[in-house]
Chains A and B, each alone.
Chain A
Amino acid sequence: MNFLIISLIKAALVAFVLLTTLAYLQWIERKVIAHVQLRVGPYRVGPHGLLQPLADVVKLITKEGLIPSHVNKLFYLMAPFVAVTLALISISVLPFGPEITIGPVTTWMQLTDLRIGILFVLAVSSIGVYGVALGGWASNNKYSLLGGLRSSAQMISYELPLALAVAAPLLLANTLSFRDMVNYQSGYWLGFIPRWNLFPEILGFIVFMIAGFAETNRVPFDLPEAENELVAGFHTEYSSMNFAAFFMAEYSNMVTVTAVATLLFLGGWQPPFPAPYSDVIPILVFAFGGLIALYHGLNPARRMDKFTLPATALVFLGIAAIFGVSLFVPVLNTILMALFWFCGKVLLLLFVFIWVRATLPRFRYDQLMRFAWIFLFPLAMINLLATSLIVALTSK
């Protein structure tokens, strides 16, 4: 019974945080791209457009959910459901931190740990293609069908380098569970270089990230929804919440790919510096951010800056203070440090995703396929063979 209650609380917490992140990820993306392109991005709804995601949600919910007359109704309605369910489900096996003890309760900062966790994520992502493919086909529209077909071909092609890139760190750590994978990456070489898989597996990491871009249908591999060729690709005929479901699935897949990359290659919640030094870094980061905001608030460039920037500074300094307090509370320290490093790494990779979208043009379709089969696949293969050779030579 105790287990059931703890699991329910954890699931509710994870679901709430994940869904909020998905909504705000879109805000972050629009802001970052806007600043890359010398615009300000969303600015009207709330201070600096912070309430924009809320407005978007209200807009999408209150819109009429059109079902075109010529579609295959069952599959048309099933497709976004399949896409979003499969995209959200993988988060259940990802760990966010170590085992913690709050009062009488001892639990892991993870919903559940499967012995085949990594295979589970691969399996779910390999089925995820049906959402897009079915949506494209059921819409009964040339552009949608082309988008769906492109998506299936692309995802089959890029799943191979993705799986091969994942296999290399698995060989090193000799486990399929995310929890053991992160534990394997704890500790430091020579006392200061973290034992992350990133360093021996840098090639694997690069291949994983590139294939991850293709798996999530992101620029430069967003051929399934190429606006200038296919209108909006597989979701041309979708509106209202059905459209929102596809949108959520895309962002959720992004979070999953970056979280898996963090767990497999960047040491999960393990800090990049040994413990006493790494605990100070969050305080410095947030205090520095707060001081910058305070400085600009005292020297306002725009009229509203007098109010918004000091408020931001207050929030940042408050977070810094919480981290400072946590140095003296061991439980809080474990939770906050794990969350800070895990979320920090995931957000960094998400920023790379957005950054790439803002800077790179789209591939042509034949280039996309050639890149996967002639460059990425052999590279992942060579990386896997080299890793297995080293593992075979060094293991007892």
Chain B
Amino acid sequence: MTAIIFIVFAGIAVFCGINLVVQTHPIASALSLIGVMGSLAVLYLQLGGEFIAAAQVIVYAGAIMVLFVFVIMLLNAGAEAATFQASRFVKYLGALLLAAFLGLISFVIQGALPKSEGVIFGVFQGTTLDVGRKLFTTYLLPFEVVSVLILIALVGAIVLARKEV
């Protein structure tokens, strides 16, 4: 059962990822990215990282991507004109070569990695309690540094966007 769910959502993630690049319209691409985020959240949930899954949906799909979509709508960006016309023969050959290339890469990576036990679903310590405890004890310094970094970015954005008085 877990394997079926994994394959379905991993498939959706890959499909949306490819769709994101293939689509010419920015809104379609943005929606595909939301699809990727959503299916990744399901995969996190499957591993037992329930808090991470919820945060993924709330922060990425629900806040950041809404801003993306908002800006695309505000600028009313239209479909991108195709600049490169390839013949049908080149397209099919390209797809074949791409598949071969990806297979080669994954083969090499798998060979280079150390043998592992494989992922066991649901044993990952990812409840809200675990994540909170880790963030405020083991990883307190990186956590605070990142929040200061984000604050700097925020202040910078406001300074840059401010009208001259």
> Which of B31, B67, B127 contacts A156 (CB under 8 A)?
B67
When chains A and B are docked, how far (Å) is the Cα of A28 from the Cα of B92? 61
**B66 interface hit (Cβ, 8 Å):** yes
* Selected interface stretch from A115-123, A288-296, A305-313, A348-356: A115-123
Number of A interface residues at 8 Å Cβ cutoff, please give it.
Answer: 25
When chains A and B are docked, how far (Å) is the Cα of A159 from the Cα of B51? 18
Q: Closest CB-CB distance, A117 to chain B, in whole Å? A: 10
> Which of B50, B61, B74 contacts A116 (CB under 8 A)?
B50
Contact of A127 with B70 at beta-carbon distance under 8 Å, contacts A115-B128, A156-B63 already known = no
Residue of A nearest to B59 (CB): A126
Is there contact, CB below 8 Å, between B70 and A153? yes
When chains A and B are docked, how far (Å) is the Cα of A119 from the Cα of B50? 10
**Which residues of B, 92-116, contact A by the 8 Å Cβ criterion?**
none
Which of A116, A123, A149, A155 has the most chain B CB atoms inside 10 A of its CB? Answer: A123
Residue of B nearest to A176 (CB): B128
Residue of A nearest to B45 (CB): A116
Interface of A is mostly: helix
Residue of A nearest to B128 (CB): A176
Is there contact, CB below 8 Å, between A123 and B128? no
**B148 interface hit (Cβ, 8 Å):** no
When chains A and B are docked, how far (Å) is the Cα of A137 from the Cα of B30? 13
- Mask for A107-141, Cβ within 8 A of B = 1, else 0? 00000001110011011001101100110110000
**B54 interface hit (Cβ, 8 Å):** yes
> Which of A123, A148, A153 contacts B54 (CB under 8 A)?
A123
In the complex, 26 of the A-B residue pairs with CB atoms within 8 angstroms, ordered by the A residue number, are A75-B27, A75-B31, A115-B128, A116-B51, A116-B128, A119-B51, A122-B54, A126-B57, A126-B62, A126-B66, A127-B34, A129-B66, A130-B31, A133-B70, A134-B27, A134-B31, A134-B69, A136-B73, A145-B76, A148-B73, A149-B70, A149-B74, A152-B70, A156-B66, A159-B62, A159-B63
Using a CB–CB cutoff of 8 Å, the interface residues on chain B facing chain A are 27, 31, 34, 50-51, 53-55, 57-58, 61-63, 66-67, 69-70, 73-74, 76, 127-128
Given contacts A127-B62, A156-B66, 17 further A-B contacts (CB under 8 A): A75-B27, A116-B50, A116-B53, A116-B54, A119-B58, A123-B61, A126-B62, A127-B34, A129-B62, A130-B34, A133-B66, A133-B70, A137-B73, A152-B73, A156-B70, A159-B62, A159-B63
